[in-house]
Amino acid sequence: MLSIIPDVLEGQRILVVDDVESERRLLAEYLQQRGCRVYLAVNGQDAFKKIQLVNPSLVLMDVLMPVWDGLTCCRMLQANPQTRHIPVVFLTGASMPEQRVQGLLSGAVDYISKPFSLEEVRLRLTIHLRGGGPARQAAPALPSQAGNLDRILFQSARQLLVRSLSHTPELQELAEAVGTNSKRLNEAFRQCVGVTVFEYLREERMKEACLLLSNTGLSIQAIALEVGFTSGANFPTAFRDRYSLSPSQFRQARLDLETGDAP
């Protein structure tokens, strides 16, 4: 249940970047209600300057803005060793596949479409603030409130999950493999990364699918099997639900960007 996911937003420093005052105010008020320390910027250049001063935990940023757009700001952050670790989540009405892929390639960790649900914003921020990064990276740093047993269970289960996304164990089997039960393992994941085992695995699969679509010539069907979808028909639906474009659109947009054909 969403209500039992620990709210880790309290005390986090969030920079909200949008040239539309009503959007800034809506997000700022909501995040302040969740206990965040909120900072505001009106464009990418303003954001870049403020990031140097406040070192935010996360940047929630629109793409289309004057002076510097969100893509420019994100690239500048990635080019600076002092700021490249700060997660950037784009929050925008951009609907073209090329625009979405550009956002991910510039270094953003996520892309939320307008009109947005504040609950979706909360959950996405929770995932990224708790270390839900790209698949097959080193295990994320875990929050201090997670108990030692939670950390051990999470890290042990994560290793089994990402070892082979194409053949992941069922929840009960996974729990037994790390010496616990399904309910306790889900609780450990909630404490450590803010989501259930299933939600964490789904995110890992989508991130790995993006890597395979970008860096290999594997067919969509082969990629679906590689990341653990037993039915090739389910993969495009899940991918579209996550990124608002199909696997084929994502791959083509990536190719267009690399060859300079994208608008």
Can you give the CATH number for the domain in which 81 is found?
A: 3.40.50.2300
Q: How far apart are CA 88 and CA 201, in angstroms?
A: 21
Residue 86's domain spans which residues?
Answer: 2-129
Look at residues 75, 110, 129 and tell me which one is the last residue of a structural domain.
129
**Residue 172 burial by CB count (10 A; 0-12/13-18/19+): exposed, middle or buried?**
exposed
Closest CA to 124 of 74, 84, 89: 89
39 and 56 inside one domain: yes
139 and 89 inside one domain: no
164 and 231 inside one domain: yes
**pLDDT tens digits, one per residue of 138-185:** 444 445 445 678 888 888 898 888 888 888 899 999 999 989 999 999
37 and 87 inside one domain: yes
**pLDDT tens digits, one per residue of 218-251:** 999 999 999 999 877 789 999 888 777 889 988 8
* CA separation, residue 248 to residues 99, 137, 183, 254, 262 (Å): 15, 25, 37, 10, 15
**pLDDT tens digits, one per residue of 103-151:** 777 788 888 888 888 988 988 898 888 754 433 344 444 454 456 788 8
139 and 198 inside one domain: yes
**What is the chain's mean pLDDT, rounded?**
82
Beta bridge mates, 13: 37
DSSP state of 179: T
Query: What does the block give as tokens for 175?
Result: 């729990």
Q: How far apart are CA 261 and CA 253, in angstroms?
A: 9
Can you give the CATH number for the domain in which 191 is found?
A: 1.10.10.60
